[in-house]
Structure 1
Amino acid sequence: MMTTNKLTKTFASGSLAIGVLAGAVLTATSASAASVMSTWGEWVGTPTTPGTPLEVGDKKVTFKPNSITGGFVADPLDDVELMEMGGHYYFIYDATTAGSPDPNFSSGSFTYEILVTTPGWEIVGVDLDSDVSSNYGTVTETFLEVPGVVLVSTNGSQDPASGFYPIPPKTLLTVTNTLSNPGSPNEALFQLQNSFHQTVPEPGTILGLLAVGGLGLVSRFKKQK
C-alpha cells in the first residue's frame, strides 16, 4: 500500500506561502518501488518535437499533443513521475520542485495515455488525490474509455476516500486532469496523483502464455534448421 505524506491538508486560506515552504509531498518511499521522473518540458515536448514518454515496468505514459485547454500552464521545470509499487502504478505531477518552487496557480486541463504492454495484464481500478491550499477548488479526472467514471478531488480530498474505484479491465486509458482554481492567485495546487490498480493473469493463464511462447520458439528453431 502506498503511504502519502500530505503536509498541507489544513491550510487556512491565504497561507499559500507556508504551503510552498512545507512542500506538499505525495511521493512514497519503499525498497520495492521503481520509478522514472522527468521534467514537464521533456515529457510534453514542443510543437515540432514529441515529448519523451514515462516508462516503468509494463506501463507507458505518453502526453497527448495539443491536449492543453482552459488556460492550464505548467512550468517546464515542474516534475512528472511514473512510479510502480506493489504492482500498482502512480502518475504524479509535482508543481513545486527545486528548479521551479512556485506551485501551479492556473486552471484548465491536460491529457495523457497510460498503456499496458504485457499481454493479460489490465488496469481494473483508479483513484485520484491532490495537495492544494485549503480553499483551492477541484481537480477532476476523467477517462475517455470509461466515460461514466468521474473522480473529483475537492480541496485536496482523495476520491474515493479509501481503496480505488473499480472499472472494466482496460489495457489503455486516456486520462484528462482538469484543474479548477477560482481562488487564484491566492490558492494553488502543489501536486496531483493518479493511481492505477491492475490485475494479473491467473496462474493457468500465465502457463498458457508461456506455453504459446514456447511453441513459438520451437517453430522458429525448426525454421532455422
Structure 2
Amino acid sequence: MMTTNKLTKILSGVATLGIATAIAAPAQAATFTVPLDALGRGMVDTVLVATGSGYGLSIGGMVYDSVTLGDKVFSDFSVVADVAAGDNLSFILTSGVWTVQYDPADMGRDKGELHYQVDIDTTMMPMMYFDAVSFDTDVSGMGGTYTATKEIKTLAGASLVTQESVNGGVDMADLKPFMVQSIKVIDTYGVVSDGGMSLLQSSTNDFTQVPFGTKVPEPGTILGLLAVGGLGMVSRFKKQK
C-alpha cells in the first residue's frame, strides 16, 4: 500500500528573502529575477496562469513569462490534460543544485504533462553546460502502479535522455556528454494508468552544471552531487508501501 507523501520545503534561511506566492494578475512582464542570499541560495513559489499566448507564472501580483534563478532561465511553460492553471511551481537554488518542484492543486493529478525550457545564461556563465539531472515524484493511493517520465530534449527536438519514476522512485541521468546549454523538459504523469487508484502529489527535477572540459564522473558521484545539494533546501518524506 502506498501512503500519502508530502514534499516538505526546508528554507534554511532563504525564507528571509520574503518571496510570497501571489494570485493571478492581468499585467504581464518578461522575467522575474529571484533574489539570492549571501550564500547564493534563492527560492520562489509561483502559480501557473493561462495567458493569451500560453502559460505564465504568477508572482507578487504580476504574471511573468519566465524566471531567472542565478544563471538559469526557466521559460516557455505549457501543459497538457490534467496539469492546469492554478497548479504550483517552485524554483529553488542551493549548493549548486537547481530544483523545479511541481505541486498540483486540490487532491493531486491522475495524468497530464508539464513542458518548460531551461537555459544557462551564457552572458553570466559562457563556459558552463548541464551535468547531472534527477527526477523524483511523490504519489498517494491504495495500490497499483503509478509511473511518470521526464524527457529532456534539445531545442531542435532531439531526445537526449528519458527518466522514469515508478511509485515515487528516483531516477538519475547524466547530460554531460551532450554538452548542452539549453534544454526542453517534458514531464509526463500517469504514463501507466492504474485506474485512478494513485494520484501524483508532487514531482521534483534537479539540475547541476559543470565547466567545459570536465571529465564525466562515475554514476555514484553524480548521485552524491544531487543528494548533497538538495539536503540544504528540500527534504522528502520517503515513500512507504
Q: TM exceeds 0.5?
A: yes
**1:9-56 deviation line (CA, Å, top 9, x unaligned):** xxx25x6xxx2xxx5106343345311121022xxx323465221221
Separation (CA, whole Å) in 1 of partners of 2:208 and 2:70: 14
TM-score normalised per structure 2: 0.62
Match of 2:127 in 1: 120
**Paired residues of 1:40 and 1:77 also in contact (CA < 8 A):** yes
Larger radius of gyration: 1
Q: What's the C-alpha RMSD, in Å, of the aligned pairs?
A: 2.5
Distance change >3 Å, CA 201–CA 157, structure 1 → 2: same
Match of 1:159 in 2: 171
Distance change >3 Å, CA 195–CA 159, structure 1 → 2: same
Match of 2:137 in 1: 130
Separation (CA, whole Å) in 1 of partners of 2:167 and 2:195: 13
Residue 173 (structure 1) aligned with residue 183 (structure 2):
yes
Separation (CA, whole Å) in 2 of partners of 1:157 and 1:49: 31
**Paired residues of 1:37 and 1:54 also in contact (CA < 8 A):** no
**Per the alignment, in what secondary structure is the counterpart of residue 188 of structure 1?**
strand
Match of 2:20 in 1: none
Match 1:39 to one of 47, 57, 79 = 47
**Percentage identity across aligned positions?**
19
How many matched pairs? 169
Separation (CA, whole Å) in 1 of partners of 2:54 and 2:138: 31
Separation (CA, whole Å) in 1 of partners of 2:169 and 2:208: 19
Distance change >3 Å, CA 136–CA 35, structure 1 → 2: farther
- The structural deviation recorded for 1:188 is 0.2
- The structural deviation recorded for 1:184 is 4.1
**1:115-139 deviation line (CA, Å, top 9, x unaligned):** 1112222211211111012534211
Q: Read off the aligned partner of 1:199 and give its amino acid letter.
A: V
For residues 142-221 of structure 1, the aligned pairs below 5 Å read: 142-145=151-154, 147-160=159-172, 164-167=173-176, 168-180=178-190, 182-200=193-211
For residues 11-26 of structure 1, the aligned pairs below 5 Å read: 12=1, 19=4, 24-25=6-7
Separation (CA, whole Å) in 1 of partners of 2:145 and 2:9: 21
**1:79-125 deviation line (CA, Å, top 9, x unaligned):** 10111111110111012xxxx442112x2323110011122222112
Q: Read off the aligned partner of 1:197 and give its amino acid letter.
A: T
Gaps of 5+ in 2: 14-38, 57-63, 214-241
Separation (CA, whole Å) in 1 of partners of 2:205 and 2:180: 15
**1:155-192 deviation line (CA, Å, top 9, x unaligned):** 110003xxx53432221110101112512433100000
Separation (CA, whole Å) in 2 of partners of 1:75 and 1:109: 9
**Paired residues of 2:130 and 2:175 also in contact (CA < 8 A):** no
Distance change >3 Å, CA 165–CA 48, structure 1 → 2: closer
Gaps of 5+ in 1: 1-11, 203-225
